[in-house]
Chain A
Amino acid sequence: MIIIDPTIIEGCIRGERRAQHTLYQACYVPLMKVCRQYTTDDQEAAAYLNEGFLKVFTHLEKWKGEGAFYAWAKRIVINTIIDGFRKSRKYKEMVHLKEDQDMKAFDVRVDLNWADQRMDAESLLVVVRRLPEMSAKVFNLFASEGMEYREIGELLGIHENTAKWHVFQARKKLKEWIHPSTIKQEVTNG
């Protein structure tokens, strides 16, 4: 839980660069983690993060102090990412549908203890980023943000059932890719 001193917020509203820097530093790491989850590489994550921060600083006066500042800022950053995704969605869907056709759908059971020992966060992130963008977004919104299918559907402009399907698909693929045989195969190929 990140707690921000209200005086820093007030300083940011007044346009004080030192306060802005402090707030940026305080929120950078947790928000960057969020951005990395939703994006396909770190550069894109950094770009979205700064874009989100820009919106945060621009609309800082609208934050009435209700709830945690970090939660408010996080929501803005996620919305920024989703907005960007929706703008480029048509093209990306076209690309990834092609990939999707090559995928073999199969269900696997994963031993999470084993996966926890063998996979660190960065490895998992690489796997997540291999997901189709829509599926990755929906899965993150569902699993990390705790949003319901209906909310996700409204946010991304898709049907509720489609969102549900994306969550199912994402979860299935992640399990498949972190299955010992899959990992072994990738290491061999590498």
Chain B
Amino acid sequence: MDKFDQWYNKKMDEQDVAYSESSWDSFSQQLNQLPGSRKRRRPFMYIWVLALTLIVGAGSIFAWQAFNNPGINQEILISTEEEDSNAIPATKSESDEAVKENNSGQPLAANILPESTEKSSINHSGQSLKGSMKERNSEGLESSSKHSKGKPESQKALAVQKGESGLISEEARNENLVSTGKDLKENASDQIGRTDASSVERPSNVTEIKANVVSSETSDAKLVSSSDKSTEIFENSSLVADHSAGQHVLAPLNIEIKSLEQESMDLPKSALLMSDINSMSPTIVECCPFKGWSHNVEIGAQFFPGINEGSRFFTGLQGAYHLQYRWAQRWSASAGAGVLQRWGSFGGFQDSPQDIYTTTKVRRGFLLVPSSATYMQIPAMVNFHAGKHIISAGVRTLFLLGIKGQLDQYQVQRSGNEADLSFNSNTVNRGWINDSGFRSIVPEYMLSYSYQLNKHWSVSFSGAWMPNGIAFAEKTDENPDILESLTAGSQSSSGQQPFLLEDKWQVGMALRFKF
């Protein structure tokens, strides 16, 4: 190494430099703006905690409802098919009453198999014992007293022993054949319905009977599925025939089998026997079926105008859970919570310029450029329902969780009288940045229109206006021009200059799922 170079190095080491605390202060400010600092990563965690809380909360509500209302499905079934449900008497006495009123002089006692007499069963022609639970549960016990009157005794009824039940099988029913049991089905084809009841095997148990009933008709299935009560009826019912009386299965009978709905239609209101229904199923909501709580989850896109980049729209995504209570046919209120993420260089720039004088004037600094904001949203709306159309108005409050952006380092030079300018900028880092300059709570007024696509899905279009904007400073027509300020600038400056480059309104659309 050259001796001069050695001397130069020795002299450079002797420089008189002292530590400057002000330099640290300046540096720590830059350090605070550094993206990706541990402190700024927390909002990301909050998002997941919030989402998890929403999911767990919604799940808990459903679980609680299911626990408290185990028969809710039956209630819905009954309430939506009101006449069906009303047509289901549950007790023998009620059935009798219904029969007495509708059977025009044919006492139920006669129809319902008095013991030790000629045993008949229930007519399925729809003329008697309509709507009786017993009748439905013992559809197979085909043998109408009405039919039996003008026919040979052997053809009058299906004879079954006490404790047994003669059933019409599906096939037999289709062929208008009557059988007294499972095996009778097989014999029926050979004997053309003339089957000796004595040859019928006794059904092994009530469950088997029930199974046969279930297979008979869809509408019956509703009743059978309602509870084990049907089984009980079979066991205790007098709907049994005395097999010893020697009744035989009749020839093919012209039995009109009505659907449950049709039968129910025929039943007058006076026959609506609800007391036992109430005992075996949850309370039927007769009035105000619309009243109650509902849960909605929505996800949607939002669009914001970009003032600083022409007419370009910036976008956002939002997801939310809404709990809705409907207190009137046309009115409901909803509130919820969710997350809103919006992208775009929407303002809140923070500049930390520093002027340096060498042979020329140089401005160097850091520019904090936010690119996305994450909010927790709490909407509260009042909804007006008109058929499939819903109009909502309300307030949405946004709570700032964090700002993401980038830290740009720039350098601008101007050479006094010369027009030569140079501007250099490069991104130092990206990530969560200091959110000073942004409002932590932003209220919005919202108006939206929703269209119900089907029972669960709806699509909505909304507009929102925020009175204060998302940043503290108002939008300025004259955006701070770095080059301009350099020309007329002071010797040195530092600090933050937040300004807003976004408008106060936004539009959006969302897809909503109702549980």
- B-contacting residues of A (Cβ < 8 Å)? 14-15, 17, 20-21, 24-25, 28-29, 32-33, 36-37, 39-41, 43-44, 46-47, 49-51, 53-55, 57-58, 84, 87-88, 90-92, 94-96, 110, 112, 115-116, 119-122, 124-125, 142-144, 146, 171, 174-175
Contacts and interface: CB of A to CB of B under 8 A. Distances in A.
Given A47-B354, A54-B428, A88-B411, A29 B18 contact: yes
A95 B8 contact: no
Given A58-B428, A84-B411, A14 B38 contact: yes
Interface of B: 1-5, 7-9, 11-20, 23-24, 26-28, 30-31, 34, 36-39, 354, 356-360, 362, 364, 409, 411, 413, 415, 420, 422, 424, 428-429, 492
A33 B17 contact: yes
A91 B420 contact: yes
Contacts of A174: 4, 8
B38 A15 contact: yes
Contacts of A51: 364, 409
Contacts of A121: 11-16
15 contacts: A15-B37, A17-B28, A20-B31, A24-B27, A28-B24, A33-B17, A37-B12, A57-B34, A58-B36, A84-B411, A87-B411, A90-B422, A91-B415, A95-B359, A122-B15
A22 B16 CA distance: 21
B359 to A, nearest CB: 6
A25 B24 contact: yes
A143 B409 CA distance: 30
A39 B11 CA distance: 16
B8 A143 contact: yes
A112 B422 CA distance: 41
A84 B13 CA distance: 24
A171 B34 contact: no
A171 B2 contact: yes
A40 B359 CA distance: 8
A58 B30 CA distance: 11
A114 to B, nearest CB: 11
Contact of B356 (A44, A90, A92, A119): A44
Contact of A43 (B12, B24, B356, B424): B356
